[in-house]
A and B are shown apart, each in its own frame.
Chain A
C-alpha cells in the first residue's frame, strides 16, 4: 500500500542497550555530538483510566479524571464535566462557569511558575527554581484557601461547582495577583534581557511553524512557533467568551520562545482572573444533574496549561459512561519533540523535553544512547544526563551567576 511516510522523521536508532531490561523512555542515536534521531517510548504512567471510567459512575469519574495529571487536575475535571453536561443538556449557571474560569487560570499560573522552576533546574539556573517555586506557593496557598486542597481541588460537579468563591476569597485573590504581577514583570525582564538566559535558550529545540502544525503541537509549544491556537479563543468554554484576553504568540520557534509565551501568558491570566472576579454573576453555583445520563456523545476541549485537552464521552442511558476518551496535551506535543531534537546536541535533550512541559515525571526515566560513529551504547538516568548537559554548556561559557544576582533583587 502506498506509504509516503516522512522519512526525515525516521532514523535508525540502533538496538536497545543489552543491560536495559525495560524500555528506555528516550532512545537517542548520536553522530558525534549531534543527535541524529530520537525515539520516545511512553506508557510508564498508563494506568488504565479510560477502562476504569466505564466501570464507575459519572461522579466517581469526576474524581478519577481529576487525577490524570496532578498539575492540570482542574483542566481534566472541567473538560470531563463539560462533555457530560452537554450530553445531558444541562444549563450550567453562569457563576459556576466564572468560578471554573478563575480556578482554571489560577491553575495555569501555578503550572507556569512550576514550569519556570523546572526549566531553570534543567539548565543549571537553580536560583530561578528557588524564586519561582517560592512565588508559586502564593498561588498554592490561595487555592488551598479557596478550595480546601493545594492540588486536586474537587471544585467541579456535574452541573456546576461544589464550592463558592467568597468575598474574603476575592480579596485574597486580588492581593496575591498584585504581588505576582510585579514579580512576573521582573521575570520577563530577566528572561528577555539577561544574555546568558537568552543565549542558553535561543536556537534550542527549534521547530518551524509548518512542522509544528503538521505534527499537531498545542499550547505554548505551538504558540512559540507563531501559531495562534488557543482553545479559549477558538472553541470557547466556561466564561471565556465573555472575557477579553490576548492569545500570546512568539516567532522564535525555540525554547526561548516557549519561555516568553508562558511568562506573558501569566500576565493575561492575571487580567482574566481580575475581569472574572469583577463580573462574577449572582446566580446559583450548580444545577441538579440526573444520575443516569441519557444516550448521546460529546467532545469537550479545554486549554490546559500545556495545551489542548480533549475529552470524548459517550453515554448510554445508565449511570456509567459507555466510553471516555482522553487526549491530554502532552501526547500531542511529544510527537513534535523528535523534530525539535534533530541535529541538536545531546546536552539539549533535557531542556527541549522540559520545554514542552511534559505531563510525566521525566526525572525517573531512562535514556538509551547509541553513538553510531563509535559503535558505543550507554544508558543514562535523567539526573546524570542533566548534569552532563549543564557541564557541557558550562564548557561553552554558560554561567548564570550574573542572572542569579539579578533575580536576587526581586523582593
Chain B
C-alpha cells in the first residue's frame, strides 16, 4: 500500500517527534492531523510520536491562520524547539490565511510569524496529503 511505504520511509529517515499546534483554526485540519497520526495509520509503530512540549519536538505541525491572541505563543513555542527544527503549515489557512485572509484578527498564515519549511494546502488538508507532505519534507532534509 502506497501510504504505508511512505510511512516506512518516513520512519527510516527519522523518527520524528511532532508537536501539533492550532493557531485559531476551525479544527478541520487538526482532526485530519490526528487522524493521520493516530488510529488509522498507527504511526506510533514507526516512532512518530505526538509530543506535548516544544523542547522534544522536531517538527511543528501548525494549523490555522494565526489569530492575534495566539501569535506570541506560537513564536515562543518555535523558540523553545531545539535545532534542527521544521515547521509545517497544514491547510490553506496556515499557508495563506485561506478564507480568513484579510480578516481583522488574523495574521493570514504561519509564515507571517515564524519560518515555514513546508506547506500542505487543502481545506482541510487530507490525512494522506499530510503524510505525503511530511514525508517529502523528511526526504528533503535527508538530502
Contacts and interface: CB of A to CB of B under 8 A. Distances in A.
A and B touch in the complex (CB under 8 A): yes
Interface residues of A, number: 40
Contact of B26 (A52, A68, A134, A381): A68
B46 to A, nearest CB: 16
A149 B32 CA distance: 12
A22 B69 contact: yes
Interface stretch (B4-12, B102-110, B112-120): B102-110
Interface string A365-383: 0100000000000000101
Nearest to B63: A361
B39 A152 contact: no
Contacts of B31: 70-71, 114, 151
Contact of A70 (B24, B27, B40, B65): B27
B39 A130 contact: yes
B124 A23 contact: no
Contact of A47 (B38, B39, B73, B105): B105
Residue of A44, A51, A63, A117 ringed by the most chain B CB atoms within 10 A = A44
A241 interface: no
Contacts of A137: 35, 40
Contacts of B70: 22, 44, 364
A363 interface: yes
B72 interface: yes
A22 B73 contact: yes
A69 B102 contact: no
A22 B72 contact: yes
Residue of A45, A133, A134, A381 ringed by the most chain B CB atoms within 10 A = A45
Given A69-B27, A129-B39, A48 B69 contact: no
Contacts of B27: 69-71, 359-361
B29 interface: yes
A137 to B, nearest CB: 6
Interface string B20-49: 111011111111100100111000000000
B67 A133 contact: no
Contact of A361 (B30, B52, B72, B98): B30
B123 interface: yes
- 6 cross-chain pairs, A with B, having the tightest CB-CB distances, nearest first: A70-B28, A383-B52, A361-B22, A48-B103, A48-B104, A70-B26
Interface of A: 21-23, 43-49, 51-52, 63-64, 67-71, 73, 114, 117, 129-130, 133-134, 137, 149-152, 359-361, 363-364, 366, 381, 383-384
Interface of B: 20-22, 24-32, 35, 38-40, 52-53, 64-65, 67-70, 72-73, 76, 98-100, 102-106, 123-124, 126
Given A133-B39, A360-B27, 10 more contacts: A21-B76, A44-B24, A44-B70, A48-B106, A70-B25, A70-B30, A73-B28, A137-B40, A151-B123, A151-B124
20 contacts: A44-B67, A45-B24, A46-B67, A47-B106, A48-B106, A67-B28, A67-B99, A69-B27, A70-B27, A117-B39, A129-B39, A150-B124, A150-B126, A151-B32, A152-B123, A152-B124, A361-B27, A361-B30, A364-B20, A381-B53
